[in-house]
Structure 1
């Protein structure tokens, strides 16, 4: 399980921002009507799936040429311990799925099977972890034995898994889906539900709508460091490790729809 969005798109989205602010067109020396367009040609093209777009470059160019645009939300993630400050447009994920994505990148020559290979590699050393989570600046709460989490601005990752099934990049919020106490064989038995988006109905899966969410590992003794680093990635790019804070920037950039 992991996100699959072409890394160049993640980099283009980040190119709209500098030092935490939206770059003004005059500073870039470009026209004031700059917008983000998408030609879905990636391994999974998961962001395009949210709009039911196919991997058809001619169709995409025709769509972009029409110039119809809409303000689209952008996710923001900060990893304070790693000095990471990044933006994402599709899905960010934490722990097992992010670890699987990290390893899947090493198996790209296998095509879409790289997702399976990455997941198996990730499972080999995986342990469910206890997280402390704070939503919308509320109280910190303990969530035990978290297997994986997804923070979605859109719906799909991992080559078609509908991981955050009601996420909408025009909704002004993020959908967070958390899987707890899962075993490796649970994913085999529930895989079909992940692709349909019906996994949110099974036991040990929770769904929340948030504007901000902060996540850190839970320690009985905060002086003791974890033996396992918790992977984080966004839009298919490995970013680093917990702790992290995610937030939404409503209608941040123009998107050619």
Structure 2
């Protein structure tokens, strides 16, 4: 895989625009959106092909295949989970990428400058396609303990939020958002700081913490600005660490994350680095809201790793 430079503008000559759509994204509230998206994308003057995929594994494979077959661009219609699957295929290539924000969480799309309205975002992509224009942004590359790699665009959670996600995914009841609420209550009752070893560009920090987030972009979880100063064009990762919070303090500070003002709390530390190693016992990380890998991990900022249709 090559790092993409700012002047790498090669679009596949006659390839189609490949579209990965998640009809269940955003709890189905955009179910009727896809035909209108496809109609507008066709105005870009290239054939449009919807990828056939019914599971995340199939979706990721279909994206890789589309890129290998010479797609002119890859576009997702969904949320951060759909974006995450597509990034695995376009990262490190010159195939441009567009994210139509149609999910519960659209953090990567919004934080990298796509319009929040889905059809307005499509119009921006069509204009970029017509002009042969794309712009580079950074991605983060995870290396797991077994040497496998995975890309993400927004934020990797390696603390309380990851633990809650893992709990919610194991629960079979209740259905829907209430399962996540219940998981928060269960894990709050068990809340305890954990011992982390962080290596930031080789500098070691030993710390007891309940929150650890590594951001390429500022937001996760549908607009929570956990790494408020993260910039996906600066070649760096932002690391936000919430220290020895007790239950009451954590719940008081958590609403401030939506505004990004939690970083002013005396128990919160912020860092910036090109390479971030995170080690702690018994934690599975979540990247772009998707289950990723168990700690320890190494995360590397890769400048200009994806080109956006903007």
Sort the TM-score into its range (normalised by shorter chain).
0.7 to 0.9
Is 2:75 the counterpart of 1:12? no
Q: 2:155: which partner in 1?
A: 91
Q: 1:100: which partner in 2?
A: 164
Is 2:118 the counterpart of 1:57? yes
Shift of 1:117: 3.7
Instruction: List gaps (5 residues or longer) in structure 2.
Output: 1-77
Q: 2:286: which partner in 1?
A: 233
The 8 Å contact of residues 49 and 156 in structure 1, kept in 2 or not, is answered as no
Shift of 1:203: 1.1
1:77 and 1:59, CA in 2 relative to 1: closer, same or farther beyond 3 A? Answer: same
Greater C-alpha Rg = 2
Considering only aligned residues, what root-mean-square deviation do their CA atoms show, in Å? 2.4
1:91 and 1:181, CA in 2 relative to 1: closer, same or farther beyond 3 A? Answer: same
Is 2:300 the counterpart of 1:247? yes
Distance in 2 between the 1:15 and 1:6 partners?
15
Distance in 1 between the 2:150 and 2:244 partners?
29
Q: Aligned ranges for residues 166-177 of structure 1 at < 5 Å? A: 166-177=229-240
Match of 1:48 among 109, 119, 124: 109
Q: 1:188: which partner in 2?
A: 251
In structure 2, the residue corresponding to 1:165 is in which secondary structure?
Answer: coil
The 8 Å contact of residues 90 and 97 in structure 2, kept in 1 or not, is answered as no
In structure 1, the residue corresponding to 2:122 is in which secondary structure?
Answer: helix
1:51 and 1:40, CA in 2 relative to 1: closer, same or farther beyond 3 A? Answer: same
Shift of 1:169: 0.9
Q: 1:141: which partner in 2?
A: 205
Distance in 2 between the 1:102 and 1:40 partners?
25
The 8 Å contact of residues 112 and 232 in structure 2, kept in 1 or not, is answered as no
Shift of 1:53: 5.0
Shift of 1:239: 1.5
Instruction: List gaps (5 residues or longer) in structure 1.
Output: 24-32, 218-225
Match of 1:110 among 166, 176, 184: 176
Query: How many equivalent residue pairs?
Result: 227
1:101 and 1:90, CA in 2 relative to 1: closer, same or farther beyond 3 A? Answer: same
Shift of 1:51: 4.7
Is 2:263 the counterpart of 1:200? yes
Distance in 2 between the 1:256 and 1:76 partners?
21
Shift of 1:10: 0.7
The 8 Å contact of residues 79 and 102 in structure 2, kept in 1 or not, is answered as no
The 8 Å contact of residues 143 and 297 in structure 2, kept in 1 or not, is answered as yes
Q: After the TM superposition, which segments of 4 or more aligned residues of structure 1 sit over 6 Å from their partners? A: none
Shift of 1:157: 1.0
Q: 1:159: which partner in 2?
A: 222
Distance in 1 between the 2:244 and 2:162 partners?
17
1:49 and 1:253, CA in 2 relative to 1: closer, same or farther beyond 3 A? Answer: closer
